[in-house]
Structure 1
Amino acid sequence: MGREDGFLTNMLTHKLNSMLERSFPEQRVFLRSESETRYVRLTPLTQVFGFAGTTVLAGWLIIASAIVLMDSIGSGNLRDQASRDLALFESRVNELAAERDMRAAEATAAQERFNTALAQISTMQSELLSSEERVRELGKGITVVQATLRRTMKDRDAAREDAALLQAKLDGTDPDTQSINPEEIGNTVDVLSAALNNTAVERDTMVLLANLAEQNAETLQTDLRLMEEKNDRIFSQLEDAVVLSVEPLDKMFTAAGLSTKTLLNTVRSGLSGTGGPLTPIKFSTKGGVKDPDSLRANGIIEKMDRLNLYRIAAQKAPFALPIKNSFRYTSGFGPRWGRMHEGTDFAAAYGTPIYSTADGVVTFAGWSNGYGRLVKIQHEFGIETRYAHQSQLMVKVGQRVSRGQQIGAMGNSGRSTGTHLHYEVRVGGKAVNPMTYIKAANDVF
């Protein structure tokens, strides 16, 4: 059976060689040495296999070279595109930083306007109280002048009656004239004449004082009206300034998912014993219904109090960036490689300073498995921030830190593929997107 298979194989090989003889004639390769000469016979079938192998090898080399060349060209395009994207991103970051600085300057200007407005309101209160006091004094003076005039007129009428009676006695028309001594009558007439003259002088003086009091009252009324118009303009400017300052802060805290009512109550309760909120202004001590100026002023004070509380709250919530140097975002919040990435990654040079994004207390500072060198800071309103993969820690547990204070330096510790900062924000223990706070603050700071 084995012989028959070998015979059939030889016949098939012979036929194939015969068929390929025309295209691939048999070749012989001679190998000569010093002692003998040998040759190797290349049958047509062997040449076909060699040619096919060479062709396949050449084709494979061409295709592989094309693939490598295309991959190199594609990688170059990707690198160029990545460079352009990086340049565009850095330009955008610089614009955001400039806008943040501009917003910070506007917030400082708003604070200065707030202080100026408070000083103006205090001056207005003093001027209004002084005006009311002068008006009350003039009213009392007018009342005294009128009483004096009435008394003087009564005295004048009584003196006239006495003079008429004496004149009748002098003329002899009074039946009691005979019983009066003429010398006594003359003395009495002199006294009455002097009294009338004094009364007339006093009356003229009181009339002059009354006229002066009326003129002063008119002048004060004009001054009061001008002051009220000036106050109205100041109130309008203050109301506009306060609204323009408070509305962006309202939007910022709302965008960050914080309840403004709860936030303000928390800050207000924390001010107990440290001065407390601004107190309403009282323009009158008479009591009763408040005047419109008092209501407007108290409305401005309430908004200023809200602005002040927002300013305090902004220091206690993580609205700042943890990096002040140039950086780039390398990974955002959300699912990544089948796992939840619970923070935002910032890449920069090794040793770049890392800053606290809000006032708070350090609750952890040390090594923590995948986080590497980690700092945890507990802030107000149940907010916690985490700063991972650091190369150096500059705070310790229990230390109170302020917004913008350096807490460490960027590194590559823990489970990390390169130098970067892994930054987390947690509310009530649950991780939230840090960019929510950062973007919310871009319109204000």
Structure 2
Amino acid sequence: MRGGLYLRIHAFLERRFPERRVFLKSDSDTRFIRLSSETQLVTVAGLALFVSWAIVATAIVLMDSIGSGNFRDQARRDQQVYQERLNALSTERDRRAEEALAAQERFNSALQQISTMQSELLASETRRRELETGIDVIQANLRETIKEREILKRTVLDLREQTAPDSPEEVLAATAPAQLEFLTAALAETAEERDQIESDAQSALNQRDDLELELRLNAQRNDQIFRQLEEAMAISVDPLNKMFSAAGLPPDRILEQVRRGYSGEGGPLEPLSLSTRGEEASPDEIRANALLNQMSQLNLYRIAAEQAPFSVPVNLNQVRQSSGFGYRRDPKTGGRRLHKGSDFAGGTGTDIFATADGVVTHAGWQSGYGRLVKIQHAFGIETRYAHNSNLRVKAGQRVSRGDHIADMGTTGRSTGTHLHYEVRVNGKPVNPMIYIKAARNVF
């Protein structure tokens, strides 16, 4: 039965692929190669498989190329949006800083005006009390004078009735009217002076009322200034606090470390001095001291932010991130290894910048890294910039954030031009994007 099946299959193949012979002729001989139906079938099947594989491979390569192009375009658009967002945030931060400085100047001017008005109010109150005391004394003297005048009038009348003509008593009575006129004139002048003093006292009271109204208006303006300053401090300090927390840097410990080691120009703001007479601080003084403490904290945050690697080591418009932190397939050996940093691919000679203030501890060749720059920062943080084509700093040199320290290259263990960027905390590698993403909405 097997023979019959084989014969039917052979007959089917003979109809589709008849036996062929390929003749090879030379000068002295002629030979041929016999191509059976089975051989032709195998050859056709092999050619069909090869063509199919070529078509599938070409489609895969084209799809991968198209996908890579779309990914690069999307990455470029994301980088452009990210850069625009950074510029907008930087502009907003500068505007907030200018508003805070202007508000601080207005606050200082308002405090000076309040101090002047308080001095004027105290002087006015003292003058009013003096005038009231003077009025009371004058009124008492006036009452005594009136009483004495009445007594004198009665005495003169009694003397006129009791004395004879041309007697000494009559002479005294005759001269009494002149003395009365003198006393009346003196009393009139005293009354005018009293009226003038009362008028001055009323004017002082009106002035005091005006000063009290002005003080109330100043208090309202001061309250508005305080609210603006408090809102500005909240907008400025809270994002920085979140940024350090997101980067794994405890804000309290970082600020305390900066406060202990800070010896540069400027420094934390001093609080307002309180009264030396044992008086309690006013609400404005308490709010002012709270704002000054927040300004001091903001200043310490600014110093700490300059010393931690929150910046990007390259211009994102000129590069793309080709590999991130974590385990990956090694591009050389193909094995699974921990990638201890982030790779940014770009053109040869692309500028590389320091991401924080620090001191260069190494600038030279190191196995695997090629031309390498190491920078030691505060808080036990170290950054590494590897595979450079040219170094622009030397060991022992102090650099600031944004300084041009190297040019991108492909030295050392590298498959192409790129920057290998590492961040190490107390010698342990951490993901650099933690710091970059933490500062995304701040700088």
TM-score by length of 2: 0.86
1:131 corresponds to: 117
Which deviates more, 392-401 or 53-62?
A: 53-62
Deviation at 1:378, TM superposition (A): 1.2
CA contact (8 A) 1:389 1:414 kept: yes
Deviation at 1:292, TM superposition (A): 1.9
The partner residue of 1:336 within 328, 342, 349 is 328
2:403 corresponds to: 405
User: Within 2, Cα distance between the matches of 1:219 and 1:395?
Assistant: 67
2:431 corresponds to: 433
Q: What amino acid maps onto 2:433 in structure 1? A: M
Which deviates more, 60-69 or 273-282?
A: 273-282
The partner residue of 1:95 within 65, 76, 81 is 81
2:145 corresponds to: 159
Label 1:165 to 1:26 Cα distance change in 2 as closer, same or farther (>3 A).
Answer: closer
Deviation at 1:27, TM superposition (A): 9.0
User: Within 1, Cα distance between the matches of 2:209 and 2:144?
Assistant: 35
CA contact (8 A) 2:103 2:228 kept: no
Label 1:386 to 1:29 Cα distance change in 2 as closer, same or farther (>3 A).
Answer: closer
CA contact (8 A) 2:382 2:424 kept: yes
User: Within 1, Cα distance between the matches of 2:395 and 2:48?
Assistant: 64
Matched, 1:367 2:365: yes
1:327 corresponds to: 319
CA contact (8 A) 1:125 1:283 kept: no
Label 1:47 to 1:241 Cα distance change in 2 as closer, same or farther (>3 A).
Answer: same
CA deviation string 1:23-62 (max 9, x = no partner) = 799999796857xxx676x8xxx957x5434432332232
The partner residue of 2:376 within 375, 378, 384 is 378
Q: What amino acid maps onto 1:327 in structure 2? A: V
User: Within 2, Cα distance between the matches of 1:267 and 1:289?
Assistant: 32
CA contact (8 A) 1:155 1:199 kept: no
Label 1:404 to 1:179 Cα distance change in 2 as closer, same or farther (>3 A).
Answer: farther
Q: What amino acid maps onto 2:196 in structure 1? A: T
% identical aligned pairs:
38
User: Within 2, Cα distance between the matches of 1:39 and 1:342?
Assistant: 71
CA contact (8 A) 1:426 1:432 kept: yes
TM alignment of 1:192-211, pairs within 5 A = 192-211=183-202
Which deviates more, 181-190 or 291-300?
A: 181-190
Which deviates more, 193-202 or 69-78?
A: 193-202
Secondary structure, counterpart of 1:413 in structure 2: coil
CA contact (8 A) 1:129 1:284 kept: no
Which deviates more, 410-419 or 155-164?
A: 155-164
CA contact (8 A) 1:362 1:398 kept: yes
Deviation at 1:395, TM superposition (A): 0.7
CA contact (8 A) 1:372 1:415 kept: yes
The partner residue of 2:92 within 75, 83, 106 is 106
Residue ranges of structure 2 left out of the alignment (5+ in a row): 1-5, 330-335
TM-score by length of 1: 0.86
User: Within 2, Cα distance between the matches of 1:136 and 1:346?
Assistant: 69
Deviation at 1:135, TM superposition (A): 0.6
User: Within 2, Cα distance between the matches of 1:32 and 1:70?
Assistant: 42
Q: What amino acid maps onto 1:298 in structure 2? A: N
CA contact (8 A) 2:104 2:229 kept: no
CA deviation string 1:171-215 (max 9, x = no partner) = 126999959944774564355334322321221111010110011
2:257 corresponds to: 266
Secondary structure, counterpart of 2:153 in structure 1: helix
1:234 corresponds to: 225
User: Within 2, Cα distance between the matches of 1:29 and 1:201?
Assistant: 154
Secondary structure, counterpart of 1:60 in structure 2: helix
Deviation at 1:232, TM superposition (A): 1.9
Q: What amino acid maps onto 1:350 in structure 2? A: T
TM alignment of 1:58-73, pairs within 5 A = 58-73=44-59
Label 1:26 to 1:184 Cα distance change in 2 as closer, same or farther (>3 A).
Answer: closer
Secondary structure, counterpart of 1:370 in structure 2: coil
CA contact (8 A) 2:369 2:386 kept: yes
Label 1:275 to 1:31 Cα distance change in 2 as closer, same or farther (>3 A).
Answer: closer
1:387 corresponds to: 385
User: Within 2, Cα distance between the matches of 1:144 and 1:87?
Assistant: 85
CA contact (8 A) 2:363 2:391 kept: yes
2:106 corresponds to: 120
User: Within 2, Cα distance between the matches of 1:425 and 1:184?
Assistant: 113
CA deviation string 1:336-367 (max 9, x = no partner) = 23221110000011000001111111111111
CA contact (8 A) 1:364 1:374 kept: yes
CA contact (8 A) 2:159 2:170 kept: no
Label 1:180 to 1:77 Cα distance change in 2 as closer, same or farther (>3 A).
Answer: farther
Deviation at 1:267, TM superposition (A): 2.2
Secondary structure, counterpart of 1:425 in structure 2: strand
2:419 corresponds to: 421
2:346 corresponds to: 348
Label 1:353 to 1:273 Cα distance change in 2 as closer, same or farther (>3 A).
Answer: closer
CA deviation string 1:287-312 (max 9, x = no partner) = 52222222222222222222222222
2:67 corresponds to: 81
User: Within 2, Cα distance between the matches of 1:425 and 1:27?
Assistant: 73
CA contact (8 A) 2:347 2:408 kept: yes
1:7 corresponds to: none
- How many correspondences in the alignment? 418
2:308 corresponds to: 317
Deviation at 1:283, TM superposition (A): 7.9
User: Within 2, Cα distance between the matches of 1:283 and 1:25?
Assistant: 115
User: Within 1, Cα distance between the matches of 2:137 and 2:24?
Assistant: 162
User: Within 2, Cα distance between the matches of 1:227 and 1:297?
Assistant: 15
Secondary structure, counterpart of 2:368 in structure 1: helix
1:10 corresponds to: none
